[in-house]
Amino acid sequence: MYNKDLMKYLPLYWHDIKEMIVLQKSLGIEIGELDLKLKDVFSQCFIETATWGLGLWEREIDLKTDLSLSYEHRREMIKAKLRGSSTTTKEMIANVAKAFSNGEVEVIEHNDKYYFDIKFVGTRGIPANLDGLKHILNEIKPAHLGINYVFTFATWGEVKKLTWGDLKKMTWDEVRHLPMS
């Protein structure tokens, strides 16, 4: 419950009247609740803050609503679909993939073989919502082209630079995803 103090807006001579205090407190609770609801509705207008409004965004851009996905994954799908809503270009595909990987992406075309590579060069490992990325890219890419996904992990040459003391503090997954130098 959120309460707005409405008494501060009234002249001081009303502050000693019990009925006015009770009335203003009751109205303050109602106005406070309305204020919270207004802020919640306003937050649904923006993809980054939407929660229950994500379904409206998905319906607007013709995406299937999957409530089993996290808000973050659903937001990624919406943003990617919006980025990919014009003529498909190499840059557009890279932008869509960046939305899922939070890092730089290279798109390498193999036109003579009818496919292209999506190489994740800004971050290591496999993006958390790879299935979502595949779904969106399959919707926006030309139907005759295939996609090959290329992931980067730490190399043995990079790991060799670390001491056993460094490695002992890390999990295998942390070693595979060492920050890029």
Amino acid at residue number 179? P
pLDDT at 1: 65
Whole-model pTM: value is 0.51
Cα separation of 102 and 163, whole Å?
29
Question: Is the torsion defined by CA of 157, 161, 167, 170 positive or negative?
Answer: negative
**152: CB partners within 8 A, 6+ apart:** 119, 120, 121, 124, 125, 180
| Per-residue pLDDT tens digits for 84-112 | 666 788 988 998 888 887 788 999 999 99
Contact by Cβ (8 Å): 50, 43: yes
Cα separation of 135 and 78, whole Å?
12
| Per-residue pLDDT tens digits for 24-82 | 999 999 999 999 999 999 999 999 999 999 999 999 988 889 999 999 999 988 988 88
